[in-house]
Structure 1
Amino acid sequence: MTQHPTAQERRPANDGPKAAARNRAALMAAAREVYAEYGLDAPLSGIARRAGVGQGVLYRHFPDRAALADAVLEENVREVEQAGAAAGANLAGVLGVLTWHLTESAAFIGLLHADRTGDGTDDLHTHALALSERVARSLRGHLTGGHRLAGSDDLMLAVAMVSGAVTGPTREERERRALAAWRLLGVEVGPVRPVGG
């Protein structure tokens, strides 16, 4: 005789808002990992799979690719801004935080190249440009008139050049290459670490 599951056995308990918060946190963590490894063009299906949720859940929290990328990259940008706004902050220290984020995330590198990619008509590009400009403002606030990167586009061009050097299989190798690139540009960089690290 076949035994049918009861209603309670068929359906997991509905955690309501708790499940929504858990799902969003799982999606953010998965997106950080996937974007760090593959950049902003990573498939959303892979992010949902890594988070252990369906794509419908992903789209409930983030209606499009731009919304998810913006939410993930906002944290990186905010840390660079915090480093720039800290008491006693200087360009070397802020570049140390920026370099740490470069060694941690291919998506952050993609963000900093936003002004040189795409045609500016899609939401993801528009969000990336806005975030990239916030990073630039945080850095520019610490440039003195005589600094070698004080020219109109020199600072972000240098950042783009360094980010292009950030390759390698380990974070340590990526950091070594980033610091070598800054050195070749004659730019002093403080300790490579996250804010508060």
Structure 2
Amino acid sequence: MPREPSGAARPGSVVPTPGDDGPATAGRGSDIARDALRAAREASAAKSAQRAGERRGVPRLGRAGKRRRWSGPGPDDRDPQTLGRVVSRVALDRGWSPRLTDATVLGRWPQLVGDDVADHCTPISLRDGELVLQAESTAWATQLRMLQRQLLVRLAGAVGKDVVRRIRVVGPSGPTWKHGPRTVRGRGPRDTYG
């Protein structure tokens, strides 16, 4: 039998023409496999591009266009936070930071200035950058006045600049018996001591 050329059509078969979507496009199995492989590669490339965008910070969008609600391997604001971080964020949001800094100075006084100085004076108040110290004796009041510059430098390094701008040293005070709006002039109960 004579052989037909490979490009020739057999009798009764349909020859595909360009742009014809008729039965010839559904014909060969290898064409179907190539189309499925091409579609799978395109889907894989789109997924890889989406993952690369997420790593760069582009949010992943779901079906409705909303960001997914899980965080992934990196730290996120929705992850559990340490107590110190949460407290500092709340203090910053509510404007409590200056008060907390003042409380830090008063509460950590021995660690900030050292035990030697802390044993002989007590911080009374810290308002508007002025720290009021009460010395246990007049000699220590004089000593603290001489140490003011070193104390200011040490406090600035520990709690920040401009938290404590001035130090006022108050000497020891004796007990008072004046309680209330009405008092009597004179020596008061001290005259019974002898």
Q: TM-score range by the shorter chain?
A: under 0.3
Larger radius of gyration: 2
What TM-score do the two structures reach when normalised by structure 1? 0.28
- Relative to total residues, which structure has the larger helix share, 1 or 2? 1
What TM-score do the two structures reach when normalised by structure 2? 0.28
